[in-house]
């Protein structure tokens, strides 16, 4: 009986740990003001990541649009981060308050390639923190770099995607364990 209880407890712990560590889809917006660049604009998009305090790490499935026009590769953008050793491929980090953002979303994987056509960058370590190299909505060409020096809450917003329901990745273990326990209990009684 003790082994049955231990097996059941182990299955519950495993199922709970996979639920806690499940990645979440996040939507974000960044509103550029008119004081820099070519006028006001909005970058919107989403990514999948793991929240740890104020930070969201392990970013993937990255999308970005500028004023409604998707950046080249949107949905499959690369995410790099800027650290003391330079750009780190896959090192992108977003923060809920925007003040610790460290990402470069682009159609080229930095530092492996510097041939990005479109990019959205928000790096708090720099003097200017946010840039977008966006397509021209009329002909799809890269026409400007737009930067801003403010990542305050009204400018940057990131929220859990409203239709996403976290799924316990190990959900199937619980019924398997219960069926196994049933067979063991039945064998012991016969």
pLDDT in tens, 39-96: 677 889 999 999 999 999 999 999 999 888 888 888 999 999 999 888 999 999 999 9
Torsion of CA 160, 165, 166, 167, to 10 degrees: -160
Domain coordinates in residue numbering, the chain: 1-22+167-190, 24-165
Strands (E), 10-141: 24-32, 41-52, 55-66, 69-70, 78-83, 86-89, 94-95, 102-106, 119-123, 130-135
Per the structure block, which two tokens stand in for 19? 């639920």
The sign of the dihedral angle between the CA atoms of 103, 108, 111, 112 is: positive
pLDDT in tens, 149-158: 666 666 889 9
Banded model confidence at residue 137, pLDDT cuts 50, 70, 90: very low
């Amino acid at each position: 009986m003790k082994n049955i209880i231990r097996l059941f407890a182990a299955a519950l712990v495993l199922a709970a740990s996979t639920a806690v560590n499940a990645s979440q889809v996040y939507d974000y917006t960044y509103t550029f003001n008119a004081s820099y660049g070519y006028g006001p604009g909005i970058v919107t998009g989403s990514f999948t990541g793991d929240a740890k305090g104020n930070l969201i790490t392990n970013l993937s499935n990255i999308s970005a649009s500028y004023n409604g026009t998707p950046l080249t590769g949107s949905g499959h953008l690369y995410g790099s981060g800027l650290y003391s050793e330079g750009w780190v491929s896959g090192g992108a980090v977003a923060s809920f308050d925007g003040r610790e953002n460290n990402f470069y979303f682009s159609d080229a994987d930095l530092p492996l390639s510097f041939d990005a056509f479109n990019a959205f960058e928000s790096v708090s370590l720099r003097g200017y923190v946010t840039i977008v190299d966006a397509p021209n909505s009329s002909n799809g060409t890269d026409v400007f770099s737009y930067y801003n020096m403010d990542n305050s809450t009204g400018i940057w917003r990131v929220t859990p995607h409203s239709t996403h329901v976290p799924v316990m990745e190990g959900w199937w273990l619980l019924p398997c364990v219960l069926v196994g326990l049933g067979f063991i209990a039945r064998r012991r009684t016969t």
